[in-house]
Structures are given as structure tokens and as C-alpha cells.
Amino acid sequence: MIQIIPAIDIIEGKCVRLEQGDYRLKKIYEADPLDVALRFQDHGIRRLHLVDLEGAKSKHVINWKVLEKISSKTSLIIDFGGGIKTDRDLKIIFENGASMATIGSIAVTEKDIFKKWLVTYGPDKIILAADIKDRKIAITGWQKITEIDIISFLKEYTENGVTQVLCTDISKDGMLSGVSIDLYKIIRENFPALNLLASGGVTTLSDIRTLNEMNINGVIIGKALYEGKISLNDLKEFII
């Protein structure tokens, strides 16, 4: 069964959502992300994807206090991403309750550092973030599109020990336009054993059912929940 993983994106300590990673298109949903996390937990959710959007843009972890607050007051398993660039950043998030670190840009710009972290912390604690636009990898909070193809990117890192990948189609993110079925199909065909998390564009229960049928391991849901396109009660069929 596919795992349901709601997302909380943070700017200035508040729960927000962007459209296609555009910081100018910001909408605040809750002043206190803890209230959102508790609501998720009350409905049987076990895991949370927490994103420090300010950190992603500023290139260092900023909203670690939000992480500490949620981790100390819920039992949610938290994967934390955004701004993780140094050993200190990793130390901060793990000391403040993250179970896993979701890391993207460093895997492109500082490959040796990312590979060192894989060895130091192990593949169970490191998630490779593959943020994509037109099958090319994006970095620095999606502000820069590289020429690196998704399949070659994943091939290199699965050969170096990566077992978990969070793949986001930027063109779909926050747009409520449906998921990139063809993209995930290609990735699954090339990497059948990969623990693959899909993100971007989830709008309906049908989207989730389709991903489940494709043997996608987990799905990140953001704006669809906040805008009421999918309710937490609707997700009960996927919560074991």
C-alpha cells in the first residue's frame, strides 16, 4: 500500500504553499504548523514531509525550531528538507527530531559530500531529492535548472547506495493539475527496487490510486489537502 505523506512547507515559521516553486506565489494556510501536524496525526497519518523553504533559498537550515516543536509534540516520522548544505545543517536537523534528511542540491553541486553523508548516516536516513522540470534536475530551491537527465542522475546514485528518492515534477507542484504518470512510470521501469516517493500535482484520490497501482512507495500531498480537494477522511483507505 502506498504511504500517505502530507507536506508542510515553512516560511517565517508559518505553513505556506507555493506554485511551481515560485516564492512570489506564496499563500499562508496556518500560522502554526504544529496545529496542522497534530491534525494529520489525529487522522492516522504517521509520516510528515517538512520543507524549510527559506532554508532552500538561503542555502542553510533556518526553520529548525519548527522541526523541534513538531517532533517533540507529535509521534510523526519526519523527513526534513531545505537548506541542508553542511555537516552542521545535518547535525541540527537530526538533533531536533528529523528521522530522515531530504537532500537535493548538494547531490549535484558537491557530490563527494553527499556520498560521504550516505556512508556516515546510511541510506535509511538520507533521501535523494530529484526535483525535475522537463526531465532535467533543478537545484537551489528550484531556482536553477541543470542539464542533468533524471535517469542518469538516479543511475549514478543508486549505484552509490541511494535507496530512497523523492521525485517532484516542478511543473506540477502546487498546480492541482494531476500527477506525472509517464515520468514515474519511466523511473519505476528503470529502478524497480527503488523506494520511490512521488510529489507534485496530486489533486484527487484517483491520482493516489493510480500511483498505488504503479507500485509507487509513497506520495507527498500538499495543496490538495489545504484547498480541500482531498480531505483527511478521504485518505482512510490508504492509511493502514
Domain that includes residue 134, residue range: 3-238
Looking at residue 228, what is its pLDDT?
94
Please give the Cα distance from 167 to 155 (Å, whole number): 14
More confident residue, 175 or 61: 61
* Mean pLDDT of the region 69-95: 97
* Mean pLDDT of the region 172-192: 88
- Here the cell at position 230 is 482531498
- Here the cell at position 44 is 492516522
Residue ranges of the alpha helices (H) in the chain? 33-42, 53-58, 64-73, 87-95, 105-109, 111-121, 150-158, 181-190, 205-213, 223-226
Looking at residue 174, what is its pLDDT?
65
More confident residue, 225 or 26: 225
Is 31 exposed, middle or buried, given 0-12, 13-18 or 19+ CB atoms closer than 10 A?
A: exposed
Looking at residue 170, what is its pLDDT?
85
pTM > 0.85: yes or no: yes
Task: Note the pLDDT tens digit of each residue in 193-210.
Answer: 999 999 998 999 999 999
| Residues designated catalytic | 9, 131
**Whole-angstrom Cα Rg for the chain:** 16
Total domains in the fold of the chain: 1
Looking at residue 26, what is its pLDDT?
80
Residue 141 has pLDDT above 70, yes or no: no
CATH of the domain at 90: 3.20.20.70
Which of 63-67, 129-133, 156-160 bottoms out in mean pLDDT, i.e. has the lowest?
129-133
